[in-house]
């Protein structure tokens, strides 16, 4: 009985360690992400500047709802890969059907890409757990965004995979959901996302940059960053935000 108790106590830590060892072994052979100058540029900007730039260039919001928060912290910048999951009967929702397209999306991903999983009315169900996160990390994904819940936080934290989700919940999709497609347009936390769009995520939230306007948005974002850099010393010198707004037309 003592031995059984010991293994039960060590279970979570051991599983996290095994997952960590597994992805380390897998990622040793992972190819480096190909150069993408647009993505590289967004990595140097801020989430807030990118959000403002999308407002100005695209003319509509690019920021996801405030409930989309980092559950495993870390910056995410990369091109999106999408999957969609819908409600289903228990008979339809087999283990394979519940994750089919989401897993295919992850297993087909390239290093540096970002998984975007949207689950219909999914705040009380986990769209991502430790096993799927292990595959995502081994494939070199930059992170995962889920318009749904996430579970197995200790395991995913051990992997070091940034995850943004609208809830944390221990429930499974099996018996409740089926996946219906991947690399299709999805509505994620209030914003349309297509595979190839650029995701920029950090402590301030998550922003989607449409792929066909990415170069323009990046240029405007860089201009905003530069203007704010010039504003800070001006504000310190004159101790006035009002004067800075008048001079730089920015807040």
Q: What are the tens digits of pLDDT across the range 23-40?
A: 455 445 555 555 899 999
Please list the ranges in the chain whose pLDDT falls under 50.
Answer: 1-10, 23, 26-27
Residue 239 lies in a domain: yes
Residue 250: predicted pLDDT: 63
Could you give the angle at the alpha carbon of 249 between the alpha carbons of 245 and 250, nearest 5°? 75
> Which residues constitute the domain of residue 57?
37-211
Residue 29 lies in a domain: no
Calpha distance 73→77 (Å, rounded)? 13
Token readout for 231 is 């504003």
Q: What is the DSSP letter of 170?
A: -
Residue 137 lies in a domain: yes
Give the residue among 176, 162, 193, 185 at the shortest CA–CA distance from 63: 193
Residue 53 lies in a domain: yes
Q: Do both 96 and 195 map to the same domain? A: yes
Q: State the total domains in the chain.
A: 2
Residue 240: predicted pLDDT: 64
Residue 56 lies in a domain: yes
* Interval 147-192: pLDDT, tens: 999 999 999 999 999 999 999 999 999 999 999 999 999 999 999 9
Backbone dihedral region of 204: left (phi > 0), alpha (psi from -120 to 50 degrees) or beta?
alpha
Token readout for 218 is 């990046």
Residue 164 lies in a domain: yes
Residue 202 is inside which H or E element, if any? Answer: strand 198-202
Given a contact cutoff of 8 angstroms between Cβ atoms, the answer to whether 64 and 206 are in contact is yes
Give the residue among 11, 33, 19 at the shortest CA–CA distance from 130: 19
Residue 228: predicted pLDDT: 73
- Indicate which CATH number applies to the domain containing 142: 3.50.30.40
Calpha distance 249→165 (Å, rounded)? 35
Calpha distance 178→158 (Å, rounded)? 28
Give the residue among 218, 185, 203, 236 at the shortest CA–CA distance from 56: 218
Given a contact cutoff of 8 angstroms between Cβ atoms, the answer to whether 209 and 217 are in contact is yes
Q: Do both 45 and 139 map to the same domain? A: yes
Residue 37 is inside which H or E element, if any? Answer: helix 37-43
Calpha distance 37→215 (Å, rounded)? 10
Q: Do both 126 and 193 map to the same domain? A: yes
Residue 242: predicted pLDDT: 76
Residue 186 is inside which H or E element, if any? Answer: strand 186-188
């Amino acid at each position: 009985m003592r031995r059984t108790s010991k293994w039960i106590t060590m279970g979570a830590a051991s599983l996290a360690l095994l997952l960590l060892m597994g992805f380390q072994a897998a990622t040793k052979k992972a190819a480096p992400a190909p150069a993408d100058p647009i993505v590289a540029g967004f990595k140097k900007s801020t989430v807030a500047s990118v959000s403002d730039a999308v407002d100005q260039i695209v003319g509509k919001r690019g920021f996801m709802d405030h409930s989309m928060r980092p559950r495993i912290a870390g910056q995410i910048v990369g091109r999106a890969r999408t999957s969609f999951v819908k409600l289903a009967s228990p008979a339809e929702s087999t283990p394979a059907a519940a994750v089919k397209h989401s897993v295919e999306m992850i297993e087909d991903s390239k290093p540096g890409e970002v998984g975007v999983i949207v689950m219909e009315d999914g705040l009380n169900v986990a769209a991502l757990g430790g096993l799927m996160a292990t595959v995502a990390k081994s494939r070199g994904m930059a992170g995962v965004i889920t318009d749904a819940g996430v579970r197995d936080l200790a395991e995913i934290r051990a992997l070091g995979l940034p995850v943004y989700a609208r809830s944390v919940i221990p429930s499974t999709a099996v018996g409740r959901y089926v996946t219906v497609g991947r690399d299709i347009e999805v509505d994620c936390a209030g914003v349309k996302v297509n595979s190839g769009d650029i995701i920029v995520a950090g402590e301030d939230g998550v922003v989607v940059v449409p792929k066909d306007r990415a170069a323009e948005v990046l240029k405007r974002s860089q201009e905003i960053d530069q203007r704010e850099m010039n504003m800070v010393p001006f504000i310190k010198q004159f101790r006035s935000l009002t004067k800075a707004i008048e001079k730089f037309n920015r807040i």
